[in-house]
Amino acid sequence: MKASLITTGIFASVVSAHFSVTYPYWRGNSYPTQWTYPCGGVIANETTDQNRTLWPLDGGAIAFKPTHDWAQTYINMGLGANATQLNITLVAPFNQTSNGTFCFPKVTLPEGVEPKEGDKATIQVIQLSTRGGALYNCADIEFSSKAVDPSPEVCFNSTGVGAQPLDYDGPEEIKDDDDKDDDDKDDESSAISVNPNTIISVMLGALAVAGLMA
């Protein structure tokens, strides 16, 4: 009995330290091996292919349930039925804060990524936890004009959930005084590089309405 309680406690602790992808539906339950790159130890096969979700041709919603108070988060994509190179950035790195359900209602595809009807791909969500460990999850998709948006019960943002963009510009360079005025002007608009698929465009557009930006 005592051993059973200990085992239950360990399992609960492991689960509470992980996260799940709820839309598109994840490839499979990765809780036991979620630290395994690239998809949490869940290998694509005929069984997992049954979990493949129809996703709009120009991009769609992504929802996940974090269990950490904060985690650096990365959302990538790889093209193909069994993608091994998940090297397309869908959302620039950001710090997820609080926990519950976190949803991007619309993540647009980067310029140059133009899938055709029926093309397949994999979306990868990575979280670096408060203890420094990396956790991985994948969701397999099929691009389709027949894809429908997830219901409000699936794509919503829990009370208190938020996000902050991460700035990887690196240390500032020492510059002449003559350049200072120009730098001050640039800082107002380019502290973080902006393109249609950065965290700025996604959050300030889709998520600010939900009040997620602090």
What global pTM score does this model have? 0.76
Does any domain span residue 185? no
What CATH code is carried by the domain that includes residue 35?
2.60.40.10
> pLDDT for 148-190, tens place per residue?
999 999 999 999 999 999 876 655 544 444 444 444 434 333 3
Number of domains in the chain: 1
pLDDT over 90, % of the chain? 63
Does any domain span residue 2? no
Does any domain span residue 98? yes
C-alpha distances out from residue 77 to 107, 109, 122, Å:
11, 10, 6
Does any domain span residue 178? no
Q: Report the DSSP pairing between strands 134-143 and 120-128.
A: antiparallel
Does any domain span residue 14? no
**Inter-residue contact 122 to 10 (CB < 8 Å):** no
pLDDT value of position 130: 75
Does any domain span residue 7? no
| pLDDT bracket for residue 17 (50, 70, 90) | low
Q: How far is CA 57 from the centre of its chain?
A: 18
**Domain with 116 in it:** 19-168+190-210
Does any domain span residue 8? no
What tokens appear for 93 in the block? Answer: 């790195």
Does any domain span residue 6? no
**Inter-residue contact 26 to 41 (CB < 8 Å):** no
